[in-house]
Chain A
């Protein structure tokens, strides 16, 4: 058979001067620019394009748009491989490589089509009933095989070489849908002076007008309107762009496809995710034609009537020669007439007993055979439909056919309005759901509002566009509404599922849901449409049940003997069509995956042997390579140096908050569990904040700079949370307090000098400053300047050693860091990383993130005395609730390895000696380190209070490495419990 043998010699909106080569399942085929993959396949006589999800039944092209349930293909190779794309929406491009899915070894011969023989056992709920035993874990075993047998295409695993983009866009009026209503709305809104974004998923504007002959009045109207809009400076025509979701604030999620026919897309994103913010929205999303339900209605060669007309008039493809048009409305007759005019032998089987005389007369002119009060009950054919069984006034009869066009009327496309929470409302006059009440800034137009005629849609669009522009304050001179009357008559709607033959009658083609499944669900009590959906998986495919939703409702309504509105409608959620994760990510991949924070000393760390570690968003030195061969060796060496000489740490990552105002002390008294009102100027204090529920929120030190001014530091991890919390409390709980909180985290470079030689180093680095104990006592503050920049020195210790935190303006951070190292060289001052920092604090028994984990209280952490009998601070009331006083509540303890050579591990579960290591145990190890002081591994743990007696033995089990370690419960302060080293 020659290529494109189903292509007509003339007509259509394809460019015959631009042939396009592509492959399908390895077979080389040709089409034209302006084709979709589906139209090109049909032109080449390819009717079998896929296999169904569950039964692996042969499937063909069913529609001509995004509602396609059958013709899902995988596009591209290697990293560009993308599965589950409807062939009906893929613009044909040279070199396109497409393959069918869910078949083996080939599409024509699929071994798993044998599933059809098991169909009686594979009904709705089959998996739930069958694969739940014999044990609770049995499903985990079965799932692997079931997922292999059923499914869609598979994504590739190679890196995607293409670029994706995310951008923001704005408009006064966003119009979703480029059909007659949308075009008319855009014309009116633009004329009123509004900035308009017209969004159309197709690569051509026109919607259903594209199904009209290319030399028709409709085509002329389309050309003129499009030219008018293209010449407007205020209209953005966004073709190849799908509105996949609508969100609060009129934010519309758009995915724009790159023009695949562009042969030089250098630098152009393959897909762009646009967040369009519009002041008003016009929904002109059209309607989707309803299929008809009868036995074997899924055979290749069954197609929506509107789709057949589109393939004929837009793509110049005659998909069949002996055609039955099965319908219940006037619209499908136009398909019959056009097909007959193109040379096909056409029979119209109309469900209605009384047919419009004008249509019957026109049918006679075209030689179309008309059978009234007739519907199809069954089809035959394997890879293509061959014969139909019709049921009419004279009983059943057989008819040969190679194409069956079906039309059960139309369903307005209310998906996007559903995203906004607008409940669909049933309109009996059109037999379908339209959106319920719109907010003032949203409008509907055209067939999505039930205006099915072209003239009505254009008029409706004009009204909606004018109103949407007016909402935005744009009320320029209204243009004359353009007119186009195609003489359509009202579309009657099929509202029930007809009796079918013995074969399966499909309602949801993609999920292989049949009328039998719906009947079974009904028998088993799943009458709610939401339950029906979940039990049968109806509407849960990639097409979201665009063609199946209404027939399913009609079937359930019949079974329940209820009306369709009584039966209800399901809720549509974003995305309207599938969106690739890579598109949403855009450029936020690789080194742009998240923004990175660098301290002022970052470059020094990088050039001086630091192994860097991501801590939250910060890059921090993990350890310095000159300290040891690996992290384990390095951190022990670094902490030894801190204990014996002095070490320098970059602590710029600490959260820093300026707290100012006449009520600042009162404010801090309320947000901290311990008091700050009496803190003298020039002194610092460790503080702990609680959440409202009494759980510890964060800790840090706060220094009183002046009577009304404090300098708060927070943990690195909680810096943003603490600032947000403080702002929240000031705005909502205590708006009467005159306090300002400002993040100054990035203002200051901060570094800590810790160790017995730290004071000497400070004296050497700042010879003009008096850093004696008398001038700068523990928890004291010294403010000065260094090279013209503000300098703050706080004598604080996290390591347990004498230590100083030094703050200087960020731009001078690296200079001061280098100055300290230079001054400290005679004292063996060396930098250390976060691993050593953590180890030092564990030895000293200081709690940090692993202990302040959102579950622990002050008492759990041994900090209860800080609050004492204070009241009136955040978390005060709930910290005293009885559950927090339970004797078996886990509290902080120290652990020390009993056996030499063994190590504790963070996350290990604690059990009593002899206790079976099962379940959650008595507690867990939170932080561990090797302690040079103790010569063994030590750790902090949270352990049930009723077994946490010091001196007792406990067993730490680490299932990930099947390790069991004996440990002794000790004080969490492993080093210098009297705090003498702080002053050493």
Chain B
């Protein structure tokens, strides 16, 4: 990485996806909130941190539970009449990026406005990196993560490393 003010590391990214059905979304969210022991993010892009995981609303009826490194997956029992869940334990990779140069590097990667409220710390944005769908997660003033499909991860990390030069 050429820029001394930018770092990139790669880690696994275990996720659980939960989704509620249209028409019974309120019941689904209430049930899920109780099951997880935390409130849910209200709108797309909002996140809520809880013990060992982050709840991200990635679509109006879809949430991701992003597990912290080494954290146990919460036990979930989703009523099939209200929604469903699917484990996404293996399919994504987490790029952790940090440094004072991060906004400049990211400007060459994704169409996310680093200074916008939608990309403030704690917010998530579904976007694309070199035509590949990724989830941008702002984790700090000069830090963020990208959750990228595993099959593209090497290609995309190369892209970011080049952008940092």
Q: Which residues of A contact B (CB under 8 A)?
A: 165-170, 195, 267, 275, 277, 587-588, 591-592, 594-600, 618, 652, 658, 660-662, 708-709, 735, 738, 740, 742, 744-748, 789-790, 809-811
B80 within 8 A of A: yes
B39 within 8 A of A: no
How distant is the Cα of A504 from the Cα of B83 in the complex, in angstroms? 77
How distant is the Cα of A709 from the Cα of B80 in the complex, in angstroms? 10
7 contacts between A and B (CB under 8 A): A166-B108, A587-B108, A592-B159, A594-B130, A595-B131, A744-B91, A747-B90
A587–B162 CB distance below 8 A: yes
A595–B155 CB distance below 8 A: yes
Contacts of B10 in A (CB 8 A): none
A592–B89 CB distance below 8 A: no
Q: Looking at the complex, which of B29-37, B111-119, B137-145 is the stretch in contact with chain A?
A: B111-119
- Which residue on chain B has the smallest CB distance to residue A664? B84
B158–A592 CB distance below 8 A: yes
Contacts of A592 in B (CB 8 A): 130, 158-159, 162
Cβ 8 A contact of A811, one of B81, B90, B165: B90
Q: Which of A195, A267, A597 has the most CB of B within 10 A?
A: A597
A277–B113 CB distance below 8 A: yes
Cβ 8 A contact of B84, one of A594, A598, A660: A660
State the Cβ distance, A803 to closest chain B Cβ, in Å. 23
Cβ 8 A contact of B113, one of A170, A599, A745: A170
B42 within 8 A of A: no
- Which residue on chain A has the smallest CB distance to residue B17? A742
How distant is the Cα of A169 from the Cα of B109 in the complex, in angstroms? 11
State the Cβ distance, A417 to closest chain B Cβ, in Å. 24
B12 within 8 A of A: yes
Contacts of A738 in B (CB 8 A): 21-22, 81
Cβ 8 A contact of A662, one of B80, B111, B112: B80
B151–A745 CB distance below 8 A: yes
State the Cβ distance, A324 to closest chain B Cβ, in Å. 51
Contacts of B100 in A (CB 8 A): none
B57 within 8 A of A: no
Ranked nearest first, the 8 interchain pairs of A and B with the lowest CB-CB distance are A746-B91, A747-B91, A170-B113, A597-B151, A810-B90, A660-B84, A738-B21, A809-B90
A744–B88 CB distance below 8 A: yes
Known: A742-B86, A742-B88. 13 other contacts (CB 8 A): A277-B111, A592-B162, A594-B130, A595-B159, A596-B155, A661-B84, A662-B81, A744-B91, A747-B87, A747-B91, A790-B87, A809-B90, A810-B91
- Which residue on chain A has the smallest CB distance to residue B150? A746
- Which residue on chain B has the smallest CB distance to residue A748? B90
Interface string of B125-165 (1 = CB under 8 A from A): 00000111000000000000000011110111011001101
Cβ 8 A contact of B154, one of A167, A170, A598: A598
How distant is the Cα of A158 from the Cα of B165 in the complex, in angstroms? 24
How distant is the Cα of A652 from the Cα of B90 in the complex, in angstroms? 13
A598–B86 CB distance below 8 A: no
B92 within 8 A of A: yes
Cβ 8 A contact of B107, one of A168, A735, A745: A168
State the Cβ distance, B46 to closest chain A Cβ, in Å. 21
State the Cβ distance, A781 to closest chain B Cβ, in Å. 17
A810–B162 CB distance below 8 A: no
A746–B22 CB distance below 8 A: no
B108–A658 CB distance below 8 A: no
Contacts of B158 in A (CB 8 A): 591-592
State the Cβ distance, A594 to closest chain B Cβ, in Å. 7
Cβ 8 A contact of B12, one of A598, A662, A811: A811
State the Cβ distance, A473 to closest chain B Cβ, in Å. 12
How distant is the Cα of A594 from the Cα of B131 in the complex, in angstroms? 8
B110 within 8 A of A: yes
Contacts of B110 in A (CB 8 A): 168
State the Cβ distance, A178 to closest chain B Cβ, in Å. 22
How distant is the Cα of A598 from the Cα of B93 in the complex, in angstroms? 13
- Which residue on chain A has the smallest CB distance to residue B88? A747
State the Cβ distance, B36 to closest chain A Cβ, in Å. 19
State the Cβ distance, A604 to closest chain B Cβ, in Å. 14
- Which residue on chain A has the smallest CB distance to residue B82? A738
Q: Which residues of B contact A (CB under 8 A)?
A: 2, 12, 17, 19, 21-22, 62, 80-81, 83-84, 86-92, 107-108, 110-113, 115-116, 130-132, 149-152, 154-156, 158-159, 162-163, 165
Contacts A595-B130, A738-B21; is A747 near B159 (CB within 8 Å)? no
Cβ 8 A contact of A170, one of B19, B80, B116: B116
Contacts of A740 in B (CB 8 A): 19, 62, 83-84, 86
B154–A745 CB distance below 8 A: no
- Which residue on chain B has the smallest CB distance to residue A662? B80
State the Cβ distance, B39 to closest chain A Cβ, in Å. 23
State the Cβ distance, B133 to closest chain A Cβ, in Å. 9
State the Cβ distance, B59 to closest chain A Cβ, in Å. 10
Contacts of B12 in A (CB 8 A): 811
How distant is the Cα of A267 from the Cα of B163 in the complex, in angstroms? 11
How distant is the Cα of A277 from the Cα of B116 in the complex, in angstroms? 12
- Which residue on chain A has the smallest CB distance to residue B114? A170
Contacts of A166 in B (CB 8 A): 108
State the Cβ distance, A582 to closest chain B Cβ, in Å. 16
B130–A661 CB distance below 8 A: no
A810–B150 CB distance below 8 A: yes
B155–A597 CB distance below 8 A: yes
Contacts of B22 in A (CB 8 A): 735, 738
Contacts of A277 in B (CB 8 A): 111, 113
B115–A660 CB distance below 8 A: no
Contacts of A598 in B (CB 8 A): 151, 154-155
- Which residue on chain A has the smallest CB distance to residue B78? A660
Contacts of A658 in B (CB 8 A): 86
Q: Which of A267, A595, A597 has the most CB of B within 10 A?
A: A595
Contacts A195-B115, A275-B111, A660-B84; is A746 near B151 (CB within 8 Å)? yes
State the Cβ distance, B97 to closest chain A Cβ, in Å. 16
Contacts of B92 in A (CB 8 A): 746
A746–B131 CB distance below 8 A: no
- Which residue on chain A has the smallest CB distance to residue B131? A595
Contacts of A275 in B (CB 8 A): 111
- Which residue on chain A has the smallest CB distance to residue B149? A746
Q: Which of B86, B152, B159, B165 has the most CB of A within 10 A?
A: B86
B89–A747 CB distance below 8 A: yes
Cβ 8 A contact of A167, one of B108, B113, B130: B108
How distant is the Cα of A587 from the Cα of B83 in the complex, in angstroms? 43
B152–A597 CB distance below 8 A: yes
State the Cβ distance, B127 to closest chain A Cβ, in Å. 10
B165–A167 CB distance below 8 A: no
- Which residue on chain B has the smallest CB distance to residue A811? B90
A660–B86 CB distance below 8 A: yes
How distant is the Cα of A167 from the Cα of B105 in the complex, in angstroms? 9
State the Cβ distance, B20 to closest chain A Cβ, in Å. 9
How distant is the Cα of A598 from the Cα of B148 in the complex, in angstroms? 13
Contacts of B86 in A (CB 8 A): 658, 660, 740, 742, 744
Contacts of B155 in A (CB 8 A): 595-598
Contacts of A599 in B (CB 8 A): 151
Contacts of A709 in B (CB 8 A): 84
Contacts A592-B158, A595-B159, A742-B17; is A165 near B108 (CB within 8 Å)? yes
State the Cβ distance, B60 to closest chain A Cβ, in Å. 11
How distant is the Cα of A423 from the Cα of B118 in the complex, in angstroms? 35
State the Cβ distance, B115 to closest chain A Cβ, in Å. 7
State the Cβ distance, B64 to closest chain A Cβ, in Å. 11
B89–A588 CB distance below 8 A: no
Contacts of B2 in A (CB 8 A): 267
Contacts of B89 in A (CB 8 A): 747, 809
- Which residue on chain A has the smallest CB distance to residue B154? A598
Cβ 8 A contact of A169, one of B107, B131, B149: B107
How distant is the Cα of A810 from the Cα of B92 in the complex, in angstroms? 10
- Which residue on chain A has the smallest CB distance to residue B156? A595
Q: Which of A195, A745, A789, A811 has the most CB of B within 10 A?
A: A811
How distant is the Cα of A296 from the Cα of B2 in the complex, in angstroms? 57
B107–A661 CB distance below 8 A: no
Contacts of A595 in B (CB 8 A): 130-132, 152, 155-156, 159
